[in-house]
Amino acid sequence: MTGEPHKPASAKDARAEASAWLERREFGQWSPTDQAAFDAWAEAAPANMVAFLRVEQVWQRADRLRALGRPMRPAPQEVPRHPLSILPKLVAAVAILATIGMGAWFYGPVERAYETPIGIRKTITFADGSRVELNTDTVLRARVTPNGRYAELVKGEAFFDIQHDAALPFTVLAGAYRVTDLGTKFIVRREAGRLEVTLVEGSAEVEPIAEGVPGKRTVLVPGDIVVASADGLKVTKKTSPALANQMAWRRGLLIFNHATLADAAAQFNRYNTKRLIITAPSVARRTIGGTFPTSGVEEFAEVAKGVFGFRIENRGNDIVIAP
């Protein structure tokens, strides 16, 4: 920490600066120069970054207020001269109003799209308390209303943690299949020509919803993995450590356990624009274990070099691992 040890850093100052940055970003005129200036400010002191994260988090969560549509107006009050002075009374008054009004606007009527670019994760919390974590390079559309709860995984991977409601099942559409929660945590991953559903907790069912799609309705128990491809639905099992490894992305990690270098490279390439290229079979089939940050392409290449003695070539945006 900087500054005098006796006097703590002023929270107010850092927070005022943080909200000014957030405001500048809010209206979308945000250039690389702005980003660089912001980075410099944020990295200058953890106090800045911390203040920014705090104001940003509440601002992002305030997205949920959209469920209101047109907002309720508070009871008429004079504009306070000192913004915080009349707070306790006002808070009490609106808390009552808000509680009464809750039911009507608790759910949002609108379908929304959520996206993550490569290398970014994001968590969405819906009005019903269900949470969805989007992995890298993912598009999800979702609508959560009192009449139905559904999401469509357009591409990528998401971890669903659903608040179960027997009267109002949460369904996830992915290509030609539908996943219906029966009280559940599960992961859905969609790639070209392939869909994978992993049940972590509870129960769920997977069924084809289009004509001529192979496979029939399948109920999953925890540890089950269903892979839907041109060959139909295939169910396999995973042990809980293997399952935990598979979910490591939620902590920003990739965990390999006897993975071939080819598989590991394919995993890294989901998370990074810098791509690992392995063409030589003698390299591709070697196996590796270990834990890496999802962004750790270079570390991984270094390990391949150090452990196996392979050559690393940087070619623009590619890293080639060669024998």
Which 20-49 positions form the footprint of another protein (CB under 8 A)?
Answer: 20, 22-28, 30, 35, 38-39, 42-43, 45-47, 49
> Which residue, 112 or 238, has its beta carbon nearer to another protein?
112
Which residue in 33, 109, 122, 231 binds another protein (CB under 8 A)? Answer: 122
299 is a contact residue toward another protein (CB under 8 A): no
Which residue in 64, 155, 238, 275 binds another protein (CB under 8 A)? Answer: 64
62 is a contact residue toward another protein (CB under 8 A): yes
CA distance 134 to 130: 13
Q: How far is CA 264 from the centre of its chain?
A: 21
Shortest Cβ distance from residue 157 to another protein (Å)?
A: 16
Contacts (Cβ under 8 Å, ≥6 apart) of 30: 24
Which tokens sit at 20?
């000014």
Which residue in 216, 237, 251, 311 binds another protein (CB under 8 A)? Answer: 251
CA distance 233 to 319: 35
Residue numbers 86-105 binding another protein by CB under 8 A: 87, 90-91, 94-95, 97-99, 102
Say whether 222 sits in a helix, a strand or coil.
coil
CA nearest to 39, candidates 54, 52, 57: 52
Which residue in 121, 190, 270, 274 binds another protein (CB under 8 A)? Answer: 121
Q: Are strands 318-322 and 287-293 parallel, antiparallel or unpaired?
A: unpaired
Binding-site string for another protein from residue 174 to residue 213, where x marks contact by CB under 8 A and - marks none:
----------------------------------------
19 is a contact residue toward another protein (CB under 8 A): yes
CA distance 309 to 283: 10
Shortest Cβ distance from residue 135 to another protein (Å)?
A: 12
Shortest Cβ distance from residue 163 to another protein (Å)?
A: 5
| DSSP structural state of residue 172 | E
Residue showing tokens 């004079």: 78
CA distance 39 to 245: 32
